[in-house]
Amino acid sequence: MTSAAVLPLDADLVDRLQSVFALDAATIAERLHPDFNRYFGRFLGNPAALNAYLDEVRYLCRAGRLAGHVLDLASGFGLAAICMRALGVEEVTGLDLVETKAVTAHKLAERVRVNRCNFLLGNAAAIPLADASVDGVMIKDAASHFRYPGQVYAEVSRVLKPGGRMVLSDDRNALNEWVRLATERLWEVTETGSPDELAKLGLSIGYTKMRRDYIAHRFPSLDDRQADWIARRTRGYTYLMLDTTVPRLLEDQSTALAPAANCINPENEIVQERLLDPMELCRELSQHGLKAGLVPTSVWDGRMAKRRGSRWRGLWLRRLARMLWSTRIVRTRLIKRTADFLIAARKR
């Protein structure tokens, strides 16, 4: 297994990735998928943006000490997985619940001619890999979308080899006031936003209307007023939950079922940005045999800040922050100041 500290760069693979983003948006939409541009449009014709993304993936690999065979859980369009291979991780398997993303990731991998980088369609709560089959797991910007997080972390522990490593990063830090407000606004837009607002999220209709249309179809005896009222009353419910909840509401009974999340796609059951308390999450991971701890995000890394053009005062403050990270009160205050958080874990 290659040491996680080495991470030799495959410059040719990086060049092939850059060539993809040298294409125009229309060509990428045709050859990969239109939604690829919504996620990575900022990379088009902007090599520095891809290099910064590569730096972030490198930082995560080092923080998590990832090496050998790594599972990229909820891998999306596959860019992070391919970047891991470019950084010297020996083998990467990507897994995503959305077929469009898994298929597009495979197309991207073929286009840049990367080997030992495979993409699977599947649920993170039921990972289609054998016990103790991977050396590491990366969960990048995905934990806030899991429908059943406890099951996911149990599965991560199952597929990791003894002593295997996991790194988890997310930008839905419940301890940060700005993140809480921004997330609540996002939930409202996702539920009832205008067509233009929804289009920016890759949605054609909001979740409230999705529930309303399902209720009207599933329970045709309801009039429009009833369907609208129940759709508003059942935020955070999936279609399956509506099947049992609607009859109870019509009988003037309590719903009995708690919402699956504050905001969830009722059809595919993907959570729209769950707020996460990073300290509580560390405790939850420990219940699944993962010794987890919070580590500084790249915001507090002096080397990355220097590459981004930070002045000496910013570099000094970052160095001081990292020196004092082990002090609980300082660590807590720093975590509250940033939108992102980073957890590194080891299977016991």
Range of the domain at 36: 11-174+276-347
Q: Assign residue 95 the CATH number of its domain.
A: 3.40.50.150
- The average pLDDT across 97-107 equals 97
167 and 59 in a single domain? The answer is yes
Q: Are residues 327 and 190 in the same domain?
A: no
The domain boundary, picked from 250, 266, 292, lies at 250
Side chain identity at residue 18, one-letter code: Q
What is the DSSP secondary-structure string of 71-132? EEET-TTSHHHHHHHHTT-SEEEEEES-HHHHHHHHHHHHHHT-SSEEEEE--GGG-SS-TT
* Residue 312 belongs to some domain of the structure: yes
Whether 6 shows a pLDDT value over 60: the answer reads no
Among residues 235, 250, 265, the one where a domain terminates is: 250
Give per-residue pLDDT as tens, 40-76: 999 999 999 999 999 999 999 999 999 999 999 999 9
Domain membership of residue 4 (yes or no) is: no
Check if the beta carbon of residue 231 is closer than 8 Å to that of residue 159. no
Q: Are residues 110 and 203 in the same domain?
A: no
The predicted pLDDT at position 313 comes to: 61
Answer for the pair 88, 4: CB distance below 8 angstroms, yes or no. Answer: no
- Please check whether residue 88 is in contact with residue 77, taking contact to mean a CB–CB distance below 8 angstroms: no
Question: pLDDT tens digits for 191-208?
Answer: 999 999 999 999 999 999
Residues 170 and 201 in one domain: no
Task: State what percent of residues in the chain have pLDDT above 90.
Answer: 85
Q: What is the pLDDT of residue 345?
A: 98
Q: How many degrees, rounded to 5, is the angle at CA 91 between CA 85 and CA 97?
A: 90
Domain boundary among 250, 267, 299: 250
Per-residue confidence (pLDDT) for residue 319, from 0 to 100:
79
Going by pLDDT thresholds of 50, 70 and 90, the confidence category of residue 2 is very low
In a domain, 257, yes or no: no
Query: CB neighbours of 276 closer than 8 A, spacing ≥ 6?
Result: 143, 144, 170, 172, 173, 174, 341
- More confident call, 311 vs 295: 295
Which H or E run includes 63? helix 47-64
Angle (nearest 5°) at CA 77 between 71 and 79: 70
Give how many domains the chain has, as a whole number.
2
> Is 34 a member of any domain?
yes
**In terms of domains, do 242 and 100 share one?**
no
* Residue 222 and residue 151 in one domain: no
Judgement on whether residues 154 and 206 belong to the same structural domain of the protein: no
pLDDT at 135: 98
